[in-house]
Structure 1
Amino acid sequence: MAFEDLLPEVGDMGRFQILQVLCLAIPLVFIASHCLIENFTAFVPEHRCWVHLLDNTSDLLNVNGNLNFSSLLKLSIPLDSNGKLERCCRYFWPQGQPLGPNVIGQNMSQLEMELCVDGWVYDQSLFTSSIVTEWDLVCDSWTLKSLSQSVFLAGILVGYPIWGYLSDRFGRKRMLPPSYLMLAVSSTGAAFAQSFPVYCCLRFLLGFLISGIILCGGTLVIEWTTSQHRPLVAVILSLCISLGYLFLGVLAYGLQEWRRLQLVVSAPFFAFFLTSWWLPESAGWLIVQNKYDDALKVLRKVAKTNGIKDKTLTVEALRSTVEMELDAAQTRYTMLDLVHFPILRTRILCMSFAGFTTGMLFYGLSLDIQNLGSNIQMLQVLFGASAFLSSFVALFIMNSLGRQMIAVACLLLAGLFVLPGAFLSEEILRVVLAVLGISCIVICASCNAVYSTELLPTVVRYMCRGLILTGDQIGAVLAPLVNTLRHYIPALPQFIFAIIGISSSFVVFFFLPETKNKPMPDTIQDIECGHSREEARPREERDTAVKISQF
């Protein structure tokens, strides 16, 4: 008997599981908000150089009264090739030089210009402040905005392997409360950061701790849920993440100051820290660690919460359970072992590339909404709503269409939707294409979570999933940096996203099999010998002495 067979005896989907899912689902709303919050906290408003003639009260009083604000602006800021005010330079006028109406008749192009040595003036009509206005992340420092986004995503990338080791070593529940507390402190601290380097360090720590909550909390929920109910739980958690994107857009309508917005989405984690103590440890982990008495106490507590009076659970029953768990894990594989098997290696590489693509395209589009239009709050709500609906769509089409077909179609369509946006000037068309692209990526990501599980053998499934998640997060880290290439060639980021999306669809189509209505492989031998393939011969017809070639 496996551990999962014990769960129905204590309630496999009762009050306990519902409360447990809620304890993780609600924090996911705020975690998702943190992932895209820099759409607002790092908003780049319209800006121009600070100049003495316009922005210094004492100098303004000395200017000839016949010159109005519009005339002074012409004397102060040059125009770019599009007829708009230059953002990073100004005309040079020696202080104290008298100005009269006749100066406007001069050839302005012959006037000397200089950089914004005295700072900038920012438009505060949409947001009163952001980290861009706080630390002047414009002109020569414009790339620092994308750097802060990548630093946060890099924190998530670094956190996955570390928290994975800690949760296996010390337990899932034991790692969860410290993660919530440190996340609450670091995210709240970011709202009070007084310098950009300190802000980036806190954002990196924030990303690192978010990966801990997702990994430890997600593993805890999965290990208390039977395989029959795991797809439903996965959809619920995915919907909460999408709801977080929508919630962020609504919240940004009422909070135009970046520190307040950061604080509002951070403070609830102090409450989540307190509620996380209620969660019990994974009984499966306790059994594997030979802590039978503790596992028995936890199981009886869960049975009581679910309203089940269990009298059959004993330490002996738990010992018999662990025998099968250990038998299934007798053969230990390392990361290096995985590359020795050709079919397994191909599946890992293809799914990692698909994960890399979904990570890059999702964050490449969702962290760049300012380039789609001026009403970014509405755009954020629109993106969140489309992601929410796409999660529902993914649930239904996965039951009717094949996993491979969905992955190929969504990756291909995402690439085709992204590319035209680089060449269209009509704002509404660019927004529609971006929303369609985001929807395809969300559907693909939801499908890939199931697809990768069905492609990979049980004995190395979590190890392989870790590699795939790493590929996904590497794509996410690179996405803001790819967007900076727009400064040199406006269409280059969309072109790169489109090529990667289309290429990934061909990789999945040619190198991965369909898994719908097929048994999941248990061992590496199952996929290397074709046991899970449709064209495979029945096992009893094969030569039982067949050996797997490692290359």
Structure 2
Amino acid sequence: MVSKEPLKTKMPEQMDNQFNLEGLLSELGSFGKYQLLLLFLLAFRDSFLAMCNYNYVFTAAEVDYRCYVPECESSDVRFNVSFAQFALANHSDICHRVAPRINDSNLSNSDDECAPEGFIAGETVPCDRIIYQDYNSIFDLGCQPWKRTLIGTVHNLGLVFSFLLSGFISDRYGRKIIIVATPLVVGIVGLVKSFSVNYWMLLVLEFLETALGYGNASMVLSLEMVTQKRRVIFSCVSDILSNFGFAFFGLIAWKIPYWRHMMWVIYAPLLVVVFYIFLVDEGVRWLLAHNKKDEAVRVLNKVAKINNITLSKKANEMLTNITEEARKTERLGQNVPQSTHIGLLVVLRSKKILLRVFLIAAIFFCCIFVYNGCMINSTSIVGNKYLNFSSLVLVTIPTRIITAITLTKFGRKAPICVAYILCCVFFIASAYVPKSIWWASVVFYLLGKMCSSYGMFSMTVVALEVFPTTSRNSLTNTANTIGRLGAVLAPQTPLLEKYMAGLPSIVFGLVALGPVMLSLLLPDTSHSSLPDHIQDAERIGDTNDTIHKADDAEDRSPAS
């Protein structure tokens, strides 16, 4: 136990606030009733948002198809037909069929038209019409594969704008507005999209959905709700719950394969998030950083009441002092909150912070390209594409457990480097496994996805930890926005399979080496409190940094 004397010592204002907040959060606990309710609410929201975010994996998936052969088709048109061996071209030329001898005078009997001698071997003509194995994928895109991949590209291009926009709004107006508003936008636009009458209407709505929705406010809020010792564990638990729900998307798509009906099922539940206006509170760190101290005290008291915790005398005195100070400042007309926009410009004048933005942006480019690419290509690996997709999501759960343990015990940089080195090895190995042992290729692919998921989540944690509260989401999402260009390219990777089997996996493995080298240039944030101001953020990683030793701050709680 540390003596009470340090609490009486006059400290710089920002240090004192940070110190006291860590102590208060320690008293309130990390997994009480309030925090558990918040975890489940965020998990519901994030599960369905994730389903919507990856809807194009199934709605724009490639479906087996063949040419319509008018000389042979009956009134009951089927995909599998006996005349395929002589009337259809080989698989590499699937959008052409064998040329018929329709003008041959020797074929006077119409029955002979659908016989081997009714076609000219070696000559082909373009398909006039396509017959699909099923009609679950969107519109008629069989011989236009670029249109299928363009949907994913446009979707991820919209996310470039979405993350940038949501970051600024979140830092300016709070985390809660993004948590509530973005799912509603996604749900409404997604339902309208399900009634698209043509490809181009769907493409426009795909862009609007992602440009106006999404963001990562849930993770920001979960990191800011608990102490330094618990923030990684708390965020990992939140991510485990949301991925558990996300894994049901594969089963939903399996049982409801028709794309319009599937969209109704995954988009409609997001409308329920409107009730989060009454169920979710604003982040305490954001409230304090923006001088909304009365609201911060109300939220802290609410947490204590729901968790059935009696705050210590020192904690109550601190809350009372904060309230009185806020009211006194308001009476004197001094309560002029700093503009987030101006604050962001001030932050970006720091060379150290600006360098971090560019470094994290480059790392995000590699991380997002590998993560999104392996998710999209999951439908092309051997086996049931729906179960493969769900399996790739479910491996995130043990990955998060490993993440919570390793990031807490070994810091940030070393685990990230190891994860992406293994990611490189597993993806390249999956590409070269002989087809006779296909199961080994699937195992290596899953292991590569685990490492990619580990690295992606860990880098997001690091990004949120190195920037100050007043511009945390803006700077993280600015870096994420630049990195999202990797997601724009990822939907094109299935086309690489046409040039070489396993080439997408090889590309993922090589790109995974990027974060290994770049992450070494970032400071290790494992023993630092979340910085509230630019000076705090700049001190992270300094050898003489004493303010950010969060372990000491947590031990010196108001109850000490």
Do Structure 1 and Structure 2 share a fold, with TM-score over 0.5?
A: yes
Aligned ranges 1:75-86 → 2 under 5 Å: 75-80=86-91, 86=93
The answer to whether residue 174 in structure 2 is matched with residue 137 in structure 1 is no
Over 3 Å counting, the alpha-carbon distance change for 1:533 and 1:307 in structure 2 is closer
- State whether residues 49 and 183 of structure 2, in contact with CA within 8 Å, keep that contact through their aligned partners in structure 1: no
Q: Which of the numbers 361, 380, 387 marks the counterpart of 1:352?
A: 361
Over 3 Å counting, the alpha-carbon distance change for 1:431 and 1:164 in structure 2 is same
Residue 51 of structure 1 is matched in structure 2 by 69
Letter in 1 for 2:96: C
Residue 210 of structure 2 is matched in structure 1 by 207
Over 3 Å counting, the alpha-carbon distance change for 1:114 and 1:335 in structure 2 is farther
Q: Secondary structure at the match of 1:91?
A: strand
Q: Which of the numbers 402, 407, 426 marks the counterpart of 1:417?
A: 426
Q: Which of the numbers 488, 509, 521 marks the counterpart of 1:477?
A: 488
The answer to whether residue 274 in structure 2 is matched with residue 273 in structure 1 is yes
For the residues of structure 2 that align with 1:41 and 1:31, how far apart are their CA atoms? Answer: 16
For the residues of structure 2 that align with 1:153 and 1:318, how far apart are their CA atoms? Answer: 43
* Alpha-carbon offset, residue 316 of structure 1: 0.7
Letter in 1 for 2:35: Q
Q: Deviations over 1:121-141 (max 9, x none)?
A: 1113xxx5111xxx12122x2
- State whether residues 292 and 319 of structure 1, in contact with CA within 8 Å, keep that contact through their aligned partners in structure 2: no
Aligned ranges 1:59-458 → 2 under 5 Å: 70=82, 72-80=83-91, 86-93=93-100, 94=102, 98-100=110-112, 104-105=116-117, 108-111=120-123, 113-117=124-128, 119-124=129-134, 129-131=136-138, 135-139=139-143, 141-212=144-215, 214-215=216-217, 217-282=218-283, 285=286, 298-307=299-308, 313-314=319-320, 315-318=323-326, 334=344, 338=348, 341=351, 344-426=353-435, 427-453=438-464, 455=466
Over 3 Å counting, the alpha-carbon distance change for 1:75 and 1:225 in structure 2 is same
The answer to whether residue 68 in structure 2 is matched with residue 41 in structure 1 is no
Q: Deviations over 1:363-388 (max 9, x none)?
A: 11111122212411221122122121
* Alpha-carbon offset, residue 525 of structure 1: 6.8
- State whether residues 167 and 478 of structure 2, in contact with CA within 8 Å, keep that contact through their aligned partners in structure 1: no
* Alpha-carbon offset, residue 321 of structure 1: 10
Q: Secondary structure at the match of 2:97?
A: strand
Letter in 1 for 2:414: M
- State whether residues 379 and 389 of structure 2, in contact with CA within 8 Å, keep that contact through their aligned partners in structure 1: no
- State whether residues 290 and 337 of structure 2, in contact with CA within 8 Å, keep that contact through their aligned partners in structure 1: no
Q: Secondary structure at the match of 1:109?
A: strand
Letter in 2 for 1:87: I
For the residues of structure 2 that align with 1:274 and 1:359, how far apart are their CA atoms? Answer: 32
* Alpha-carbon offset, residue 158 of structure 1: 0.8
Residue 496 of structure 1 is matched in structure 2 by 507
Over 3 Å counting, the alpha-carbon distance change for 1:225 and 1:520 in structure 2 is closer
**Worse-superposed segment, 477-486 or 4-13:** 4-13
Residue 63 of structure 1 is matched in structure 2 by none
- State whether residues 45 and 270 of structure 2, in contact with CA within 8 Å, keep that contact through their aligned partners in structure 1: yes
How does the TM-score come out when normalised to structure 2?
0.78
- State whether residues 72 and 113 of structure 2, in contact with CA within 8 Å, keep that contact through their aligned partners in structure 1: no
Gaps of 5+ in 2: 1-15, 548-560
- State whether residues 28 and 237 of structure 1, in contact with CA within 8 Å, keep that contact through their aligned partners in structure 2: no
Over 3 Å counting, the alpha-carbon distance change for 1:486 and 1:526 in structure 2 is same
Higher RCO, Cα 8 Å, sep 6+: 2
Q: Deviations over 1:297-341 (max 9, x none)?
A: 555544443445787655315458999x99999996545864762
- State whether residues 283 and 298 of structure 1, in contact with CA within 8 Å, keep that contact through their aligned partners in structure 2: yes
Over 3 Å counting, the alpha-carbon distance change for 1:209 and 1:25 in structure 2 is farther
Q: Secondary structure at the match of 2:116?
A: helix
The percent of aligned pairs where both chains have the same amino acid is: 23
Aligned length: 512
Letter in 2 for 1:98: S
Q: Deviations over 1:456-499 (max 9, x none)?
A: 56776545423332244222222112443444555553343222
- State whether residues 87 and 119 of structure 2, in contact with CA within 8 Å, keep that contact through their aligned partners in structure 1: no
Q: Deviations over 1:238-281 (max 9, x none)?
A: 21343244222232332222222222112211222234433234
Q: Deviations over 1:394-418 (max 9, x none)?
A: 1112233342221111112212222
Q: Secondary structure at the match of 1:192?
A: coil
Q: Secondary structure at the match of 1:160?
A: helix
* Alpha-carbon offset, residue 234 of structure 1: 0.6
Residue 64 of structure 1 is matched in structure 2 by none
